[in-house]
Structure 1
């Protein structure tokens, strides 16, 4: 992401959600993005993932320039090369666990690699649950299905938007441990927006946004250090 700005609206009513943001996310790393409400976290995620186009600047995924791509090509890129995990699990209630996980492949007309599907199911701890429907699963299990769905296409990066926001503390820790494991054991790249210092402490690096700018970066974060830094940003006053 190079000098990315995003402005919503025009004239007097224009709002700058991102201002000249430049950052590189290393492959195989876990990055948390934090900041006060309205700091630009969601806009950052949407621009980085190709869900929204910046007003100016450049966004790249690997060697691919996203800026200026038409919606058809962006949709194909997101389906093949990007995974998403949201606060609301966004599962299809009528489909089984296996059918939910493989949905991105089916949408792209690709057959599931059985060995990879089995490995992903095993990694996220859903073996024995594959025939269940979402209503038969706990919240934590549903989020595991969502993570498996994000991993099934072997994406270059998985973006999480408050992925533990709807979970209780113990379940959230299980899900965060799983995200940490997919980075450490599978070399996956994960970028997660969160408001929770404990969640951020699972990351390698925390990026702090305020007023649309990256104002700080913390490596090897701890929950206490993250909370203290957020207080100085005015988020927890």
Structure 2
């Protein structure tokens, strides 16, 4: 039986209360096997980013449970949850979240420093080289393009060698060539290193690099495709919607 890296069991996430409450996730159950690459797709407001944040322990579900391997995330204290994320989870934010006063090299090394570990410079440079930025190691974010900043953010997520990598639109700010490089790297992490990749994307071409594509509509899982090509994914995404009268 294939081991499960991350499992969501009847997860719901609501914001607010009463008549103004908004349901971002509605009774979602999903499993992500170890060593697989999953893309999560859906229109704006479908709950994609909320799913990623709940699965990564960055947001707590209103109800339901999230398990990383055999560890129940929803029952951990904030301190223990932070320690677990530092040791076992990587997250690439859509907004990069780089510290402007630090160089690319220092930004990448930051997760190791926060974990109380002395970052080996050779390892930090190796990770930057993997995303094609070895020659930008001493540049601050203000001297990097949006695409370069995104790759620094990816390198920062990879530096701890996480079991599971969550990526929110990791190719959104990249040109076609750089996107291909990043997607090839993510694919190799799953195939060659046995890491689990969960990626939110709007791009059918990016999603076609994944083993499967999970679709969300209004906070609910609305089916999935396995081993699909970009054209099939695009057709699925732009299919007819039934609107209320």
| Common fold by TM > 0.5 | yes
Distance apart, 1:43 and its partner CA: 1.2
Aligned-residue Cα RMSD (Å) equals 2.0
User: Does the 8 Å CA contact 1:150/1:158 hold for their aligned counterparts?
Assistant: yes
1:169 matched to 2:169: no
Deviations 1:176-229 (A, max 9, x none): 222223223332211111111111111111100112111111111211111111
Distance 1:185 1:142, change over 3 A: farther
CA drift of 1:233 comes to: 6.2
Instruction: Name stretches of at least 5 consecutive residues in structure 1 with no aligned partner.
Output: none
Quote the Cα distance in structure 1 between the aligned partners of 2:76 and 2:240.
35
Q: 1:138 to 1:181 in 2, by over 3 A?
A: farther
Paired with 2:241 and 2:203, the residues of 1 have a C-alpha distance of: 15
Aligned match of 1:67? 74
- After TM superposition, the runs of 4+ consecutive aligned structure 1 residues lying more than 6 A away are none
Q: Is 1:27–1:188's contact at 8 Å kept on the other side of the alignment?
A: yes
2:28 corresponds to 1:21: yes
1:216 alignment partner in structure 2: 223
- Structure 2 vs 1, CA of residues 115 and 232 (structure 1 numbering), >3 Å: closer, same or farther? same
CA-CA distance at 1:28 after TM superposition: 1.4
Question: Can you give the 5+ residue segments of structure 2 that lack an aligned partner in the other structure?
Answer: 1-7
Of 89, 112, 120, the match for 2:119: 112
The aligned counterpart of 2:54 is: 47
Tell me if the contact between 2:24 and 2:50 (Cα under 8 Å) persists in the aligned partners.
Answer: yes
Query: In structure 2, which of residues 97, 100, 110 is the aligned counterpart of residue 90 of structure 1?
Result: 97
Q: How has the CA–CA distance of structure 1 residues 139 and 14 changed in structure 2, closer, same or farther, with 3 Å as cutoff?
A: closer
Report matched runs for 1:116-127 at 5 Å: 116-127=123-134
User: What is the CA-CA distance between 1:124 and the residue it aligns to?
Assistant: 2.2
Task: Kindly provide the CA deviation profile for residues 112-156 of structure 1, in whole angstroms up to 9, marking residues without a partner as x.
Answer: 245543432332223333222223333333222211110111111
Separation in 1, partners of 2:65, 2:106:
36
1:73-132 CA deviation, whole Å, 9 max, x = no partner?
A: 222222221111122222222222221111011112111245543432332223333222
Normalising by structure 1, report the TM-score: 0.91
2:98 aligned with 1:100: no
SS where residue 47 of structure 1 aligns?
helix
Q: How high is the TM-score relative to the length of structure 2?
A: 0.88
Q: What is the distance in 2 between the residues matched to 1:136 and 1:182?
A: 29
